């Protein structure tokens, strides 16, 4: 025979269906609980089971499951009352038994307010009932933020600058649910659909990543009328620069970047890591030759592959099997243990080197490759006609923003 704990478990399983019925204004109660009502053949066990079932029922507690009894004459148990039907008669009976009264009230109040203000979110509510409950305590602020951004799309302000009575970290704290709502409520043309970054997606200002840049040709520096040969610029400031360059080198390691030789018509950028895809905003990079130089390991090749999703014409520097074989024995170290999956944007030579690094957990850090070898390879691969100098002869006006 079914026992109270079994009924509570069934009641918990009914809760989502009740939520859906309420959302659809559908009838749900009374709700019969299909169950085994067979009484145990052992008389003592049967008496105890029926006693427990009755003691925790609505009949005794004033809420919960109701039992419809019928009197039967049994050869084993004599003439007694047996449960014929078990059901929940009202929403309160179900909710109180499973401890969801307060939660369900929060849910219904939040749903009514959201649907009244933005009926377009009705389907989202059905699919995200838990999110609605979790957001109930901050619903006022969420609606205020959405109201403002619907009325003022892409405001070009920091979140804390928006004239709203929410704390300065409210939007940051609620980005996930705000993004879901704004994606459904804003016109498509004001959403950067290709952008996962919340602020960029919806036109808010943010603290932009700084891109370190170094002029490798004094002529480029003079043409730009810069007093310095090295600097760090916000991403979109770099994108707006009126630079005329013949080539760009992207180098991960800071010291490697600072010790690059002078190269005709060239600049170098560095310190980007997995943020290399942000360079898609520097649109002029698509018009010039680009080289990338990172570590010979799984991470380095993954960054190169990621960079090519936004700058497909990028070539690699010192990231092939020849370099790997030349220095593996003397400076190769153990990698981070990650086994990389096949990468879509590598050349056959790069893919072979990537597989060697992945299978053998191998890493060759770019800063460990001897400088003489680097200078020789750069001269051959970049193809500059400029003389290669000692990179330590830096411009007197250079501002070193990264320590050597």
Which pLDDT tens digit goes with each residue over 358-390?
999 999 999 999 999 998 888 887 654 333 344
In the predicted structure, residue 12 carries a pLDDT above the cut 60: yes
Instruction: Answer yes or no: is pLDDT of 273 > 80.
Output: yes
Give percent of the chain above pLDDT 70.
90
| Residue 108 confidence (pLDDT) | 97
| Burial 215-230, CB ≥16 within 10 A → b, else e | bbbeebbeeeebeebb
Phi-psi region of 85 (alpha: psi -120 to 50; beta: other; left: phi over 0): beta
pLDDT at 290: 95
- Residues 335-345 pLDDT 10s: 888 887 888 99
As a 3-state breakdown, the chain gives helix, strand, coil percent values, each rounded to 5, of: 50, 15, 35
Tell how strand 66-74 and strand 31-32 pair up.
unpaired
Indicate whether 399 pLDDT > 60.
no
Whether residue 403 is predicted with pLDDT greater than 60 in this model: the reply is: no
1-10, 39-48, 180-189, range with greatest mean pLDDT: 180-189
Q: Which H or E element spans position 233?
A: strand 230-234
Count of other CB atoms within 10 angstroms of residue 318 = 22
Mean pLDDT for 133-142 is 95
CA dist., res. 311 & res. 304, Å (int): 10
Q: Is the pLDDT of residue 51 over 50?
A: yes
Percent residues over pLDDT 90 in the chain: 67
301-325 mean pLDDT = 93
Amino acid 121: pLDDT: 97
How far apart CA 262 and CA 298 sit, in angstroms, is 29
Least confident range from 23-27, 78-82, 232-236, 391-395: namely 391-395
The pLDDT, as a whole number, for residue 37 is 67
Each residue of 187-211: b (16+ CB within 10 Å) or e? eeeebeeeeeebbbbbbbeeebeeb
pLDDT band at 397 (very low <50, low <70, confident <90, very high): very low
Q: Please indicate whether residue 2 or residue 78 has the higher confidence score (pLDDT).
A: 2
Assigned token pair, 136: 């109930």
Ranges 91-105, 111-125, 316-330: which has the least confidence: 316-330
Q: Indicate whether 400 pLDDT > 70.
A: no
Reported confidence tier of residue 304, pLDDT bands at 50, 70, 90: very high
Please, what's the b/e burial string for 79-96 (b: 16 or more CB within 10 A of its CB; e: otherwise)?
A: eeebbeebebeebebbbb
Mean pLDDT of 224-242: 87
> Residue 125 has what pLDDT?
97
| Residue 41 pLDDT level (bands cut at 50, 70, 90) | low
* 401 against 21, higher pLDDT: 21
pLDDT surpassing 90 at residue 198: yes
- How many CA atoms are closer than 13 Å to the CA of 385, on its beta-carbon side? 1
Span 74-89, average pLDDT: 76
Question: What pLDDT score does 45 carry?
Answer: 75
What CATH architecture applies to the domain 211-382? 3-Layer(aba) Sandwich (3.40)
Domain residue ranges in the chain: 4-99, 102-201, 211-382
Tokens encoding 354: 């990537």
| 202 pLDDT more than 70 | yes
How many whole angstroms separate alpha carbon 215 and alpha carbon 202?
34
Confidence check: pLDDT of 109 > 60: yes
Q: What is the mean pLDDT of residues 70-92?
A: 79
Question: What is the structure's pLDDT at 398?
Answer: 32
pLDDT reported for residue 401: 26
The reported pLDDT for the residue numbered 176 is: 96
In the structure, what pLDDT confidence band is assigned to residue 76 with cuts at 50, 70 and 90? low
> What mean pLDDT value characterizes the chain?
88
Q: What order of strands is seen across the sheet that includes strand 230-234?
A: 230-234, 210-215, 266-270, 247-251, 290-293, 315-316
């Amino acid at each position: 025979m079914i026992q109270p704990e079994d009924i509570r478990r069934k009641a918990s399983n009914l809760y989502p269906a009740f939520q859906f019925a309420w959302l659809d204004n559908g009838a749900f109660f009374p709700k019969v609980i299909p169950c085994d009502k067979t009484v145990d053949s052992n008389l003592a066990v049967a008496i105890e089971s029926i006693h427990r079932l009755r003691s925790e029922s609505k009949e005794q507690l004033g809420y919960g499951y109701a039992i419809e009894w019928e009197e039967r004459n049994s050869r084993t148990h004599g003439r007694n009352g047996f449960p014929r039907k078990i059901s929940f008669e009202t929403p309160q009976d179900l909710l109180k038994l499973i401890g969801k009264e307060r939660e369900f009230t929060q849910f219904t109040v939040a749903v009514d307010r959201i649907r009244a203000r933005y009926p377009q979110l009705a389907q989202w509510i059905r699919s995200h009932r838990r999110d609605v409950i979790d957001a109930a305590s901050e619903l006022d602020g969420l609606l205020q933020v959405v109201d403002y951004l619907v009325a003022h799309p892409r405001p070009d302000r920091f979140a804390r600058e928006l004239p709203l009575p929410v704390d300065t970290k409210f939007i940051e704290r609620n980005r996930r649910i705000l993004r879901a709502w704004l994606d459904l409520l804003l016109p498509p043309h004001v959403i950067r659909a290709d952008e996962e970054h919340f602020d960029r997606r919806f036109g808010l200002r943010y603290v932009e990543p700084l891109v370190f840049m170094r002029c490798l040709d004094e002529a480029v520096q003079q043409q730009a009328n810069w007093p310095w040969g090295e600097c760090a610029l916000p991403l979109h400031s770099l994108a707006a620069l009126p630079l005329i360059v013949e080539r760009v080198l992207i180098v991960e390691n800071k010291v490697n970047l600072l010790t690059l030789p002078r190269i005709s018509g060239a600049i170098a950028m560095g310190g980007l890591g997995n943020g290399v895809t942000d360079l898609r905003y520097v649109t002029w990079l698509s018009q010039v030759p680009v080289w990338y130089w990172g570590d010979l390991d799984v991470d380095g090749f993954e960054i190169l592959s990621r960079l090519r999703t936004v700058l497909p014409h990028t070539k690699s520097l010192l990231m092939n099997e020849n370099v790997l074989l030349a220095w593996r024995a003397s400076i190769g170290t153990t990698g981070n243990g990650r086994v990389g999956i096949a990468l879509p944007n590598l050349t056959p030579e790069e893919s072979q080197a990537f597989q060697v690094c992945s299978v053998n957990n191998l890493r060759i850090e770019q800063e460990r490759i001897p400088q003489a070898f680097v200078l020789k390879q750069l001269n051959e691969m970049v193809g500059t006609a400029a003389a290669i100098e000692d990179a330590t002869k830096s411009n007197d006006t250079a501002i070193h923003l990264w320590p050597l």
